[in-house]
Chain A
């Protein structure tokens, strides 16, 4: 059983500026991966999607790719 990435690394707040981290949770089309795929706990998944959306607005991540 795979464990939550954020719990393992003791990350309590997901930052929208942390692009390298957020990119791990995007698929090749730059869509957010589902919780089944990310294996992230519910709270972190919510923070993650929020962070990705903020990052997209600030043009740090794309809305669509390819």
Chain B
């Protein structure tokens, strides 16, 4: 990579997203506590939270083993949630990575570099912490829908969604 490109990279915003599975052995009412734990690590690195999804119990596509002091426990379900955040100059993702690794109640996690905008195409799943942000993104989606011509696939999809809601 040339020097110029490197400089441009340094000026970029540092926006990351951490997706995680909380163990299904954690009870439903303790989930907000687990989220707070993760958020505490983030605020330690002076991260600004952009959006998040509250962990929801969902079946895993394959079973995952986790070692608990010499014995393996197999999980078929987990609470999946994510937090999108921005790091300042002094923040370091490696520390966040370490803290997630050492978090006993996290089954699996993934930290990726992403963009500030909402990247989800099907908007059902995202839940925003910031109420204003929710309104903003919804407005944008609406205008986009008006502009683009609806294909047959899309019409079918929306009809299916309506039917599913009624049933």
Listed in ascending order, the chain B residues whose CB lies under 8 Å from chain A are 19, 21, 60-62, 64, 78, 80, 82, 108, 110, 112, 114-115, 117, 119-122, 125, 144, 148, 151
Contacts and interface: CB of A to CB of B under 8 A. Distances in A.
Contacts, number: 54
B120 A17 contact: yes
Closest 8 pairs (CB-CB, A-B):
A59-B60, A15-B119, A62-B61, A13-B119, A59-B61, A21-B121, A20-B122, A18-B121
A55 B24 CA distance: 19
Nearest to A15: B119
B66 to A, nearest CB: 12
**Secondary structure type dominating chain A contacts:** loop
B98 to A, nearest CB: 19
B149 to A, nearest CB: 9
B90 to A, nearest CB: 27
The interface size bin for chain A is 20 to 34
